[in-house]
């Protein structure tokens, strides 16, 4: 799985590299417009993380070039330019997703995973994690063939956790993942606790409740027992 990170802030690039390489992605970095332009011409990537404000040019211009070559669908725009028209222009130019800064690394993983699934398998696929299977197209999960009946929020939560296996997913990430922008208005994590509790109960009923663990007050980790 090959990724190109187009980002001019070195510390942010370092964080992204550390996080994504941990998840077995092969990452390359471009820090300027020219560098990104060249790399995008020479190589092919499964996914491009594209910052819009770059030294030497506008990220949207790169997107236009990609669109002209019909390669824009692998792009996730990671911009601090939260200007509405940028978002609309970006998506109209064929970008797959728009993730405004500051974003959560776990959320980014979930978006990349979703993008890669869509591109690689033409949208029909299964996410496998030990005895757990998720049919993303049908939005159905099974454990050893037994159906795992989840609400929409619980299903979203499970996919987020699966995209970040063996890593802590922050409570705040879960809150935003489930309720989107609405999360910012509520400082209580009550809905998160409720969804996690319910998901854990349902997983326990099918014998894999142990895989969902609480990490102090920080968040949760999905980890299959190494057996």
Partner 1 sequence: MKPARPVKLLLRTLRAQLVYAGLVSLAGTFVFYFVLQQLYYADVDEALLLRREEVVRKLPLVPRAQDLALWMKLDRDLVIRPLGREPAGPERIAGELRYDSLAKEMEPYRTLTTTVRYHGHPYRLVLRSSLVESEDLLAAIGVAQAGLLVVLLGGLVLVQQRVARRLWRPFYETLAQLRRFRLDQRVPVELTPSPTLEFQELNAALTDLLTQHRRLYHSQKEFTENAAHEMQTPLAVQHTKLELLAQQPNLGEAQAQHIGALLDVTQRLARLNRSLLLLARLENQQFTADEEVDLRRVLTTIVKQLQEEIEAAQLNVQLAADHPVWLRGNSTLLEILVSNLVVNAIRHNQTGGAIAVTLTPQRLTVANTGRAAALPAGREFARFRKDALSAPGGVGLGLAISRQICDTCGLQLAYDFEVPNWHRFTVSWT
187 versus 226: smaller Cβ distance to partner 1: 187
Identify the three-state secondary structure at position 211: helix
* Residue from 30, 36, 106, 156 binding partner 1 (CB under 8 A): 106
Compute the distance between CA of residue 205 and CA of residue 199 in angstroms, rounded to an integer.
10
Residue 186 binds partner 1 (CB under 8 A) = yes
* Shortest Å, Cβ 126 to partner 1: 27
Give the shortest CB-18-to-partner 1 separation in angstroms.
6
Instruction: Find out whether 94 and 71 touch, Cβ atoms under 8 Å.
Output: no
- Contact flag: residue 214 with partner 1 (CB under 8 A): no
Q: Taking CB under 8 A as the criterion, which residues in 141-180 touch partner 1?
A: 153, 167-168, 170-172, 179-180
Q: Least separation, in Å, of the C-beta of 78 and partner 1?
A: 8
| Cα–Cα–Cα angle for 9, 32, 103, rounded to 5 degrees | 35
Helix (H, G, I), strand (E, B) or coil at 158: helix
Residues ≥6 apart with Cβ < 8 Å to 35: none
Q: How many residues bind partner 1 (CB under 8 A)?
A: 44
- Interface residues with partner 1 (CB under 8 A) are 9, 11-12, 15-16, 18-19, 22, 53, 80-84, 100-106, 153, 167-168, 170-172, 179-182, 184-188, 190-191, 194, 215-219
């Amino acid at each position: 799985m090959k990724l190109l990170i187009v980002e001019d802030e070195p510390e942010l690039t370092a964080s992204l590299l550390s996080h994504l390489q941990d998840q077995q992605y092969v990452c390359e970095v471009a820090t300027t417009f020219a560098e990104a332009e060249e790399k995008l011409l020479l190589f092919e990537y499964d996914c491009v993380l594209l910052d819009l404000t770059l030294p030497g040019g506008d990220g949207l211009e790169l997107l236009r070039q990609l669109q002209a070559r019909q390669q824009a669908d692998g792009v996730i725009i990671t911009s601090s330019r939260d200007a509405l028209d940028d978002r609309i222009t970006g998506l109209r130019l064929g970008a797959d997703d728009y993730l405004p800064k500051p974003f959560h690394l776990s959320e980014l993983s979930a978006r990349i995973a979703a993008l890669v699934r869509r591109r690689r398998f033409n949208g029909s696929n299964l996410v496998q994690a030990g005895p757990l299977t998720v049919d993303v197209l049908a939005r159905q999960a099974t454990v050893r063939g037994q159906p795992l009946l989840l609400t929409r929020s619980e299903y979203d939560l499970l996919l987020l956790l699966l995209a970040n296996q063996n890593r802590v997913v922050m409570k705040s990430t879960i809150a935003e993942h489930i309720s989107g922008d609405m999360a910012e208005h509520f400082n209580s994590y009550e809905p998160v606790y409720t969804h996690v509790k319910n998901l854990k109960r349902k997983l326990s009923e099918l014998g894999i409740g142990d895989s969902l663990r609480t990490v102090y007050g920080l968040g949760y980790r999905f980890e299959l027992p190494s057996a």
